[in-house]
Structure 1
Amino acid sequence: MTDARDDAAVEHDPLDGDDRLPEYFGEAWQAVDGFRTLLMREGVLRGLIGPREVERLWARHLLNSAAAVQFLPDDGRIIDLGSGAGLPGIVVAAMRPRAEVVLLEPMERRTTWLTEVAAELSLANVTVLRGRAQDVEGEVVADVVTSRAVASMDKLYRWSGPLLRVGGDLVALKGERAQEEVDAAVKVGARSGFSPASVALAASLAGVEPTRVVRATRDGVARVR
């Protein structure tokens, strides 16, 4: 038997109405809050998030994405690889308005969603591209490639390397096993022309779990190990 309290709980996010949120997001607040509203209204219906994610959009998704923005430049081109629902890409675009943010996503229904969201939130710095990393090699070069819940580090090295200029960074949002992934992919990273990766804990609001961010720079030197 289903406990009715479970269904009610899905509707409530503990951070709703928290006065710290507008201050944290600053000038990006209106866009980020609008993005959350769109995810609440259509995210589950369109298969972008699970039903139980509605009650933790702030902590698990929006603040998780925002915490990594400190590792991104103020301008230049940022490619969000496998952008999906727009996490972190839409949040990045809102918080880095001077940067060109390319949302790269292979699924048509998701690119349709991303295009609608960018228009709804008036994010003029967003470009939505349908395809995989391999499809745009040689066409788009970025200063930073971001990624969240897309693939393991070995795949991210191979996919993002050709999209990054020399000196550009891969910034990957990862879970608790971030260091294990980095250690397991050392050889692939070296062969793909990346300097050794580091794992950082990026905080947002007190009481919210920090975001684990893997950062590696493409120095263009392929190393055989």
Structure 2
Amino acid sequence: MNVPEGAAPVEPVPASAAGVFGDAWPQVEQFAAMLVAEGELRGLIGPRELPRLWTRHLLNSSPVAPFVDAGVRFADIGSGAGFPGVVVAIMRPDLDVHLIEPMERRTTWLEDVARELSLSNVSVVRARAEELHGTASYDAVSARAVAALKKLVPWAAPLIAPGGRLVALKGERAALEVTEAEKVLRKHKLTDTSVHEVLVPGTDEPTRVVTAQRVR
């Protein structure tokens, strides 16, 4: 990968990465190359992120994909640089993926990525999640590093169709966030909340995925 002059060194690609992404590997590599070349320059990732690009961002995003049913409408709230939305779109070409992001420079980036990677299953939506309440509906909604669960749920739940699923990437406090969000989860008709710890090959610690079902 061509690293911009003065940028931090890029984390070596873990040997297991190609196996994690399977058929999606060539596009994931291309996405990574775009992030290395332009991510910091365009204000999408911080200067300390290149040394952990694979473990902290790309591989960390991959566990979302198995929790989404086949062929559904999928939305990623606050997509930013494309985590996990772009990674999911690459891994799951069967999905109708909507990347929701309010900042123009980020939506421009996401559109550039979708075009460069020929992701025909991707639509980029410039909006805040709450601006879409009552007008948009998805079978699965994801978010990563957007807000604590008790704050995220009121934004995300109205976008989830009855019978649909929240799939949120969370950190070490995942279980505590679920406990703190119990009332708001019930209020927004989200049930069967679970914290899944997924150890992705090539990473040092589990990735935590919080799932919850919207009552039909």
Alignment TM class, shorter chain as reference: over 0.9
Residue 5 of structure 2 corresponds to residue 10 of structure 1: no
Quick one: distance in 2 between partners of 1:214 and 1:24?
A: 20
CA gap 1:157/1:207 in 2 versus in 1, 3 angstroms = closer
**1:23 CA drift (Å):** 2.1
Aligned counterpart for 2:205 among listed residues 188, 198, 209: 209
Contact between 1:9 and 1:55, CA under 8 Å: does it hold in 2? no
Offset of 1:10 from its aligned partner? 3.0
**8 Å Cα contact 2:196/2:208 also seen in 1:** yes
Say which one has the larger Rg: 1
Q: CA RMSD in A?
A: 1.7
Letter in 1 for 2:19: E
Q: After alignment, is 24-33 or 133-142 more displaced?
A: 133-142
Distance across 1 between alignment mates of 2:51 and 2:186: 40
TM-score (norm 1): 0.90
Q: Residue 151 of structure 1: which of 143, 147, 154 is its match?
A: 147
Shift of 1:150: 0.3
Report what 1:170 is aligned to.
166
1:166-218 deviations in whole A, cap 9, x for unaligned? 11110100010111111011001101111141111012105532211111111
Q: Which amino acid aligns with 1:195?
A: T
Amino acid at match of 1:177: R
The equivalent of 1:223 in structure 2 is none
Please name the residue that 1:112 is paired with. Answer: 108
Question: Which residue of 120, 124, 141 corresponds with 2:120?
Answer: 124
The residue identity in structure 1 corresponding to 2:36 is M
Partner of 2:66: 70
Whichever residue aligns with residue 213 of structure 2, its letter is: T
Q: After the TM superposition, which of the residue ranges 24-33 and 144-153 deviates more from structure 2?
A: 24-33
For residue 47 of structure 1, what is the aligned residue in structure 2?
43
Question: For residues 206 and 46 of structure 1, do their structure 2 counterparts lie closer, same or farther at Cα, with a shift above 3 Å needed?
Answer: closer
> What is the CA deviation profile of residues 34-60 of structure 1, one whole-angstrom value per residue up to 9, with x for unaligned ones?
111111111111111111110111100
When the two structures are aligned, how many residues end up with a matched partner?
A: 212
- The code of the aligned residue for 1:147 comes to A
Percent identity between the two aligned chains: 50
Counterpart for residue 92 of structure 1: 88
Counterpart of 1:10 in 2: which secondary structure?
coil
Question: In structure 2, what residue type is equivalent to 1:182?
Answer: V
Residue matched to 2:17: 21
Unpaired stretches in structure 2, ≥5 consecutive residues: none
The question of whether the paired residues in 2 share the 8 Å contact of 1:133 and 1:159 is answered with yes
State the alpha-carbon separation in 2 of the partners of residues 160 and 68 from structure 1.
16
Looking at structure 1, the residues matched to 104 and 40 of structure 2 have their Cα atoms a distance apart, in angstroms, of 17
| In structure 2, C-alpha distance between the alignment counterparts of 1:23 and 1:195, rounded to whole Å | 33
Q: TM-score, normalised by structure 2?
A: 0.93
Aligned to 2:49, what secondary structure does the other structure show? helix
Counterparts of 2:202 and 2:51 in 1: how far apart (Å)? 18
Residue 141 of structure 2 aligns to a residue whose secondary structure is strand
Q: How far does the alpha carbon of each residue in 1:76-131 deviate from its partner, in whole angstroms, 9 at most, with x for none?
A: 10000011110000000000101000000001110000000000000000000000
